[in-house]
């Protein structure tokens, strides 16, 4: 029940296209859903995050869509650029059950944007 399932495992997109990565969770206690971007040999960097009280959040070219009833959320990268090529991780956490801040990560998606 603590799992976060992420798909696809890898994704190839043409420059200018839309990259879409999906995540699903089971634990309804999760109340914070961040996305992280990781380049090879580097630590993850927070990209964008959402809470269950909104269905969508947009920051620049990055948008999170959140479907509470389906327990799914996704990351959309508009106008994808070669510089976006990285591994993306979704995650979830809950502040209750003494789990404050503990992130459960998805399996990761390796995105490659072709010029």
Q: Which is nearer to another protein, 83 or 100 (CB)?
A: 100
Site track for another protein across 54-93, x = CB under 8 A: -----------------------------------x---x
> Applying CB under 8 A, which of residues 5, 15, 58, 102 lies at the interface with another protein?
102
Note whether 27 binds another protein by CB under 8 A: no
User: Distances from the Cα of 51 to the Cαs of 4, 33, 55, 56, 61, in angstroms?
Assistant: 16, 6, 8, 9, 19
Nearest to 106 by CA among 41, 19, 42, 30: 30
Note whether 24 binds another protein by CB under 8 A: no
Note whether 32 binds another protein by CB under 8 A: yes
Cβ atoms 36, 47 nearer than 8 A: yes
Note whether 36 binds another protein by CB under 8 A: yes
Residues 50, 113: Cα–Cα separation, whole Å: 25
Determine how many CB atoms are found less than 10 A away from the CB of residue 36. Answer: 21
Note whether 108 binds another protein by CB under 8 A: yes
Nearest to 83 by CA among 13, 6, 7, 9: 13
31 SS3 class: coil
Note whether 43 binds another protein by CB under 8 A: yes
**Binding-site ranges for another protein (CB under 8 A):** 32, 34, 36, 41-46, 49, 89, 93, 95, 100-103, 105-108, 110
């Amino acid at each position: 029940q603590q799992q976060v399932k992420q798909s696809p495992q890898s994704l190839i997109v043409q420059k200018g296209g839309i990259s879409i990565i999906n995540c699903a969770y089971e634990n309804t206690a999760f109340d914070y859903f961040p996305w992280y971007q990781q380049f090879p040999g580097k630590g993850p960097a927070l990209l964008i995050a959402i809470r269950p009280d909104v269905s969508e959040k947009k920051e620049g070219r990055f948008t999170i869509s959140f479907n509470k009833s389906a327990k799914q959320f996704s990351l959309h990268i508009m106008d994808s650029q070669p510089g976006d090529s990285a591994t993306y991780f979704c995650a979830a956490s809950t502040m209750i059950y003494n789990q404050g801040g503990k992130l459960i990560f998805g399996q990761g998606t390796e995105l490659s944007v072709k010029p």
